[in-house]
Structure 1
Amino acid sequence: MSSWISMDEACRQLGVRPQTIYAYVSRGKLEVMTDPADTRRSLYRAEDVAGLAKRKQAGRKHETLATNTLFGAEPSIPTALSTFVRERLYYRGQDAVTLAGSATLEDVAQLLWDAQQPVDFSCSARVANPGRVAAFKTLATLAATGHSTHGRMTRVLHVECQSLVGQLANAFGAQPGQQPLHLRFAQGWKQPAHVAELLRTAMVLLIDHELTSSAFAARITASTGASLPACLLGGLATLSGPLHGDASGRVKALFDEVERQGEEQVIAHHLSTGLPLPGFGHHLYPDGDPRAAALLAMFEPPEAIARFIEKATRLTGLQPNIDVALAAMVIHYGLPEDAAFAMFATARSIGLLAHSLEQLGVGQVIRPRGRYVGVVPGRVGEI
């Protein structure tokens, strides 16, 4: 019969931090269950922990360590920007959900960029056909003509960062002007003040999420001395994948099915076929994504979607994550079809630029080694 241990005990036995435990769980190396005595806590299979500890003690070859570091078994790049503590997200030591209660995107940008002056995302440029295509075209043009970050003062780079975020927001549909970014988005999407407040909260919660694949891509680009728009373009190209920043698109498609067919039929189909429900569960938040909880507490999703979320959570044991909250917002308030990605990309551009700026202080090109597993050289064609 299996035995189960707490997070603290698992960390102690393995000599790792909680985020490494979450990574082991997400990769199927460690089984987790809810603590029957306290549903807010998780327990971990003792046998799995013992096996991992034994492999660690046996030692790992250099190439295995490099592979694990690259693919998420352990943190690999030092950063002071954001982290997770007891399933809570922190920006430079400040709770992100608490910050989202009142801070603007400009406030958090100043915090993450460590800027000496207030941040201003105002932009007067008008975009004829705002949306994803316009946003990537704008960044591609700026990247093609941008200047290297080398030999430039940090305060000058901060000014360029402000301009990049402002232009990106306008390309996604924000109203040109000098108001805070969330108000310009609300005006561009013809939304009232209370929705503007919801947009502010959502976007602050999306600004950064430690070393994601898009942050890593931006850091790699920055390490080569490329321009800031090139760093941002590299990061946002990575963010655009459906397994990353565009995951809310999959959730919205799921919600469209719910509105057409009803929640019972959609849930039955997914559970009977073993298909995972997009937007439910998050390996960093086994007990629920606090960002999603904060957003969903601010509005009532459409009735059918609310029933679906409740039933899906009850039947799978998985809590809705931030992508569910974003998709529900878009449908409930009639936002533009691609509004979730627009919010995500614009907000995360602040974090991607923060990672790019932080990487510049390292002064070394990120260049992982490949571990060759192909045909042995010199034996091609031999009999």
Structure 2
Amino acid sequence: MNQVFNFNAGPAGLPSEVMLEVQEEILDLQGTGLSILEISHRSKEYEAINDESQQLLKQLLQISSEYEVLFLQGGASTQFAMVPMNFLTAGRVGSYVHSGTWSGKAIAEALKIGETAIAASSEEDQFKKMPDLQHMKLHPKTAYVHLTTNETIAGTQFQSFTNTGEIPLIADMSSDILSRSFDASNFSLIYAGAQKNLGASGVVIVIVKRDMLNRVSAHIPDIMNYRVHANSGSLYNTPPVFGVYLVNLMLKWIRNNGGVKAIERRNQLKADLLYSTIDESGGFYMGLADPQSRSTMNVTFGISSDDLEKKFLQEAAQHGFVGLKGHRDAGHLRASIYNAVTFEQCKALTDFMADFQKRFG
């Protein structure tokens, strides 16, 4: 195989150990004679995977018994609609923190369901920084506060969160869940697509406080109802079996590599290496996010010349670096350094960046 350094923003790379385990079990799962791709979701083997995955996630995030863990289909984009469908009732307001593209998509979906308000926004700063959570303006009829913890396109990330008291706090953590430690008890609901830090596309994880389920209306379709899925143990309909299996392997990989705090230390070292290369380039490379809001997952940067950026991408591809082109809405360059990306891969990239600057700077 040619050596490839995968910096894609998602679906992202997976650890080689996990991929090898999938390869071993793809034809015969645990001696059943069946592939994970064809096993019944009603089988005792899958139910064991489902239950173990829920418990592993609770352990890694130190989630109390007050919470349910769900494995659903549709990705985070479906959650943009499910959250207001379940909790934005008549006479209440969904308060949203607007921090960039993905929070904007969540707001757009909520507007189709009910009334919304912007609690905080960094639109005036072109979303180059995260909004100030300490000075949110909450509507008196707020049903919940929703925020996106990491904006993959702009490369911004909340460095800390706030306690909203009696008002439920809901978070889209699709691009940084299990990449760093945080106090999950501050949140009433967390959702995350798995394809960046926890597996492959096709499954979304929902962590919901049990008392939130009492607020869910009975007048929405069952397939969109969190309470129905919780009462069914994520088996109301055929779940994304392979996706949950892969999440299970990723959770074990995180556990076996020291847990969330160890992963966080490694992620910080990777981010520090890339940002120092950008900052110490004398202006050849330019960071695109405000330094106080820089993401440890998505490093966005540019070069002063469009022609040089094209040259950079061309040469990077020749050297096996994949996924460095910025999102079409932002342009420039982006290195996504999720959990599975190694420090050595980041070092290879910064060595290439230094060499490129030496030749063209």
Structure 2 length as normaliser, TM-score?
Answer: 0.25
The answer to which structure has the higher helix fraction is: 1
Which of structures 1 and 2 has the larger relative contact order (alpha carbons within 8 angstroms, sep 6+)? 2
Largest Rg, 1 or 2: 1
Structure 1 length as normaliser, TM-score?
Answer: 0.24
